Amino acid sequence: MYSKLLVVLFVLSSVALNAQVSTNSPYSSQGIGDASFYGTAFMSGLGGASTALIDSSQVNLFNPSSYSHLAKQLPMFSVGIMHRRNRFSLNGIETEGNYTGITHMSLVIPFADRFGLAFGLKPYSRRGYDVNNYEVINGDSIFYDYEGSGEIQEFLLGFSAQIIKKRNHSFSIGVNGKHYFGRLDNTRKAYIKDNNFGEIGGMDQRFMRARALGFEIGANYRFTPNKTNNFTLGLTYRPEQNLNFIQSESRIFYTGFTNISSYDTIVEPVNVDGEVTSPSRLSAGFTYEFLPIKDSSSRNSRLPKLLLTGEYTLENWANYRESFGTTLSNPNFKNSSALRVGVEYTPHRKVSDRSAYVNFYHKFSYRVGAYSVNTPYSVDGEQLVDQGVSFGIGIPIVINRAISTVNISANYGSQDGSGSPNVIKENYYGFNLGINIAPSYDRWFRKYKLD
């Protein structure tokens, strides 16, 4: 039934200026890069809330206890992409950057009525910046280029089980085992230009490569006092972990940047094993669903659904450390916190209903959300705050009894600190597209009865 899925991979581009240039984020030069939320289109439309979102037709890799709640006997394949456009400004100088990439790829398989198994891939952090500057010393212009690229991915193997499964309440736990891999690069150049506009100067290159294992746990409790109301509490926890990395740094002097034969090695590249302290993360959330019962006096009334969700997250970035050989470094991050809320309204929740009074768009889910994040970054002792709003829509696709969905979301936000003139202000907007595919029942496995 399914052909090959072609997904747009990571693309990084920038616009150069004389003084200040950024691609994705200049703050991603610190630590292991930008480790902000990489949610799916479903979650992004709800302000990024994910901890207590338990839906039988949606994949949630951010709370492993959700896997056992998917529709029984129906594996779910999910993939998502996102695009983000940034505008940076500092002291009247502006520049723009773009980023397009995969938010996740996963396969979740529920089995034995109470269990779920998941395989997934999603970003953990990314680095992307291109900063240029110059100064004039004794009549000569000295140019400085700072570039960074790369990403750390996490491949996860998850398991979930429903410990309690009663009519009015259930309790599930889950765990994600993770393998971190990928590479982050930093390049610094300082040079002057000769009479032929060639470069004479030095270049320092550094990379960090991950080869580490980690884990996180999750739980959710669902309480259904009656047919109209449904409450869900969710919790996830990732402990502080020392992740294994390899670091290497090299330095050269050159009289012609484009002429490799002019390179003179000052520091030979040597791989050094070390550790990076990944911060602990604790998130608690809630979801409330209002499911009104059909009016018995009306044959054409629809069955709407209203969902409210929210979460609060704490990450202990102040304990972040990098230890390679005898070198111990600390970028002086601050502890991060995030508050996310979202609302979803579905005019008619019975997606398989083919009644004449139910139009296709009545089965859509309409979402709106907001978020406020105290990031780990600070300038002049002032912590940067990321705030924004989001909108989304979910489109169900029913094939036989299997429900697949297409989710689309958009968000707009800004990152800023109040008061410091050295803060690079950022405004951005983004789009997410996510697809959850549940296979229909194959004809080969249908049983026929002979009279």
What would the DSSP string read from start to end of 308-360?
EEEEEEEE-GGG--EEETTEEE------EEEEEEEEEEES---TT---TT--G
Query: Quick one: pLDDT at residue 417?
Result: 75
44 phi-psi bin (left φ>0, alpha ψ -120 to 50, beta other): alpha
What is the mean pLDDT, run by run of 10 residues, along the chain of 451 residues? 31 31 68 87 96 93 95 88 89 82 93 93 91 82 91 96 93 97 94 83 94 96 94 97 94 89 90 94 98 70 92 96 88 93 94 81 95 91 92 90 90 83 86 88 50 52
Query: Quick one: pLDDT at residue 26?
Result: 80
Distance CA 64, CA 160 (A): 6
Q: Write down the pTM of the prediction.
A: 0.86
Query: Quick one: pLDDT at residue 311?
Result: 98
Q: Which residues contact 289 (CB under 8 A, 6 or more apart)?
A: 229, 230, 231, 232, 305, 306, 307
Neighbours of 380 (CB within 10 A): 10
Question: Rounded to an integer, what is the distance from CA 361 to the centroid of its chain?
Answer: 29
**Distances in whole angstroms, Cα of residue 170 to Cα of each of 88, 133, 159, 249, 382:** 47, 58, 17, 52, 44
Place of tokens 């006096």: 297
Query: Could you give the angle at the alpha carbon of 394 between the alpha carbons of 442 and 290, nearest 5°?
Result: 105
Of 408, 397, 409, 393, residue with least CA distance to 346: 393
User: Dihedral angle at the C-alpha atoms of 405, 406, 412, 416, nearest 10 degrees?
Assistant: 60
Query: Quick one: pLDDT at residue 135?
Result: 86
Helix (H) or strand (E) holding 233: strand 229-238
Whether the CA torsion 166, 167, 171, 177 is positive or negative: it is positive
* CATH annotation of 11-16+35-127+148-185+209-241+278-440: 2.40.160.60
Place of tokens 């990379």: 207
Query: Quick one: pLDDT at residue 296?
Result: 57
Q: Give me the half-sphere count of Cα atoms (radius 13 Å) on the Cβ side of residue 133.
A: 8
